[in-house]
Amino acid sequence: MTDILALDLGTKTGWAMRSAGKVLSGVWDLKPDRYSGAGMRFVRFQRMLGQMPKPGRVVFEEVRAHAAVSDAHVYGGFLATLAAWCEENSIPYEGVAVGTIKKAATGKGNASKDLMIAAMQAKGHDPKDHNEADALALLHYAVKRDAEAANA
CATH number at residue 88: 3.30.420.10
The domain containing residue 81 runs over which residues? Answer: 4-151
**Which of 93, 94, 106 shows the shortest CA–CA distance to 136?**
106
Does the structure show a pLDDT above 80 at 9?
yes
State the first-to-last Cα distance of the chain, in angstroms, to the nearest integer. Answer: 16
Q: What is the pLDDT of residue 14?
A: 98
Domains contained in the chain, number: 1
pLDDT in tens, 24-80: 999 999 998 889 988 999 999 999 999 999 999 999 999 877 777 888 889 999 999
Hey, which bits of the chain come out as E strands?
4-8, 12-19, 22-29, 57-62, 93-97
**CA–CA distance, 116 with 147 (Å, rounded to integer):** 22
